[in-house]
Amino acid sequence: MEEVDVTLRVDGEEHRLTVDTRTTLLDALRERLGNTSPKKGCDHGQCGACTILLDGRRVNSCLALAVAYEGSDITTADGLAENGELHPMQRAFIEHDGFQCGYCTPGQIVSAVGMLDEVEAGWPSHVTGDVSAEEITLSDAEIRERMSGNLCRCGAYANIVPAIREITEERARR
């Protein structure tokens, strides 16, 4: 076993840790820093419950090694709220009742936030009809496809999609 020092910047705060080089970011966050908002569902990159933003991009933290992310900006669902105000995506999930047990919810919300930035950057998805179009229309089919890496065992998809759609419509009105 080899241990190394690493500084992780999580939700705006720096933490100095000594970790086994095999420690995943998910375990470092949950077991070492006490940040339990990313959840361990499968621990194999299959469910999305552990989704975080790494320098703004969504990533399954169970597949990332903590030592590789020295200096990166790590955002968890905990860090989305600012000055005591919920992030609009968090508010929309509550208003649309986009969860049942809530286990997948932090990952869903973080993933949705990252997904909207991907759309704004013009990244097409598997169901995008015209990949050369200047703007991507975020239909429900697009939302479902782009969120397909986040599974919900309670099957709350019928309310998750409208929650995300509300935020896309708010953004479009700006």
* Cβ at position 130, least distance to ligand FES in Å: 31
172 binds ligand FES (CB under 6 A): no
80 binds ligand FES (CB under 6 A): no
28 binds ligand FES (CB under 6 A): no
Query: In the chain, which residue ranges form alpha helices assigned H by DSSP?
Result: 25-27, 88-95, 105-120, 140-146, 157-173
Q: Mutual orientation of helices 88-95 and 105-120 as an angle, nearest 10°?
A: 120
* Cβ at position 118, least distance to ligand FES in Å: 18
43 binds ligand FES (CB under 6 A): yes
91 binds ligand FES (CB under 6 A): no
Tell me how many helices (H) and strands (E) the chain has. Answer: 5, 5
* Cβ at position 151, least distance to ligand FES in Å: 7
* Cβ at position 49, least distance to ligand FES in Å: 5
Nearer of residues 59 and 167 to ligand FES, judged by Cβ: 59
162 binds ligand FES (CB under 6 A): no
Could you list the residues that contact ligand FES (CB under 6 A)? 40-43, 45-50, 60, 62, 99-105, 152-154, 156
